[in-house]
Amino acid sequence: MPDVVTILTKDPKSVPTTAAWLAALAAVTMLIESNFLEHMDIAWLGFPIWTPGTPFYGQWYRALASLCTLGSLSFSTLISVYFIASTAVPYELAVGRALFFWHMLLGTVAVLGVCAIGGVVPGRGYPEFYFPAAALAHYIETLHLCYQPDYVVSIMGVRHVKMKHVPLFHMGYGIFMDNRWINMGLLIGYVVGHFVHSNFKLFPWLENPYLALAALAEEDNRGAPAAAPRREAPAAAADDPAATRAEGPVALKIGDAVTFAFPDTSANAPLTGKRGVVEALPGGGDFPDRYVVFLAATADSGQRRLAVKREHLEFFARGL
């Protein structure tokens, strides 16, 4: 086995955020269909919620509740849920649970902000401004599209399209099946998704907050003399059930920032000096003797998840 192995997928059961969202969509839809809730009870109203004197002041629960409905139960709703499962699940598998939750949080804030502004602009109102779940779903699709444009999505097992063509499918479906020439949810999600992804390229720490810790540690050590000893974290206690195995002077833990170190003659020499974040420890799975390290996207390559032996990793900073 080579020194570095690129990991393409993770455990298919590790999609808690997507699973929770789909469960919430199903539960809220059933409550609405049984007349226990009305759509207006959970609509996102934006500015009136934080404006004193309005009847909706302080109803912050609407921020999350409005993300849990795609409208009344219909074939179009089922299609939307199907695409959430088809695109959000593989994206969460690809980036991991923690980063997917972070990306969802960024998208939620951005989508709610855009919908709050759109809801008060004079002119024609769009239901997507008040029920932004569709926009959030298209936001996740867009992030997946940006990372893997050639990923193939099955449409009910009848047709297969690449991620980069999925927005065209949504546009066509809206025109011919729902008689909608403007899909505002798609537009909001597409714009927000590309905006967030472009900022991931400019600020890698925004894509992976763990990298911010490494950047701060590097700033702290910038003026240190060359002969200064490398900072090392204490080894994990032997009787700690959550302790990591100590290989070398430092016991790496999940979330630690590490630096790749390969000999000049190695095929992986270009990785030397690059920093990543430990996501999984040795001891199980397909790589029992390797650490799984996340490497953020750069101008030369996309984000990667690598399985690397301890001897090629140098501890840089303790994780959060």
pLDDT digits (tens, 9 = 90+) for 50-83: 788 888 888 888 989 999 988 788 888 888 888 8
pLDDT score of 126: 80
Q: Tell me, which fold does domain 210-317 have in CATH?
A: SH3 type barrels. (2.30.30)
pLDDT score of 174: 79
pLDDT score of 256: 78
Burial 200-215 (b: 16+ CB within 10 A, else e): beeebebbbebbebbe
> Which of 42-56, 95-109, 299-313 is most confident?
95-109
pLDDT band at 242 (very low <50, low <70, confident <90, very high): very low
Q: What percent of the chain has pLDDT over 90?
A: 16
Q: What percent of the chain has pLDDT over 70?
A: 78
pLDDT score of 6: 52
pTM for the full model? 0.65
Helix (H) or strand (E) holding 77: helix 75-95
What is the C-alpha separation between 88 and 147, in angstroms, rounded?
A: 12
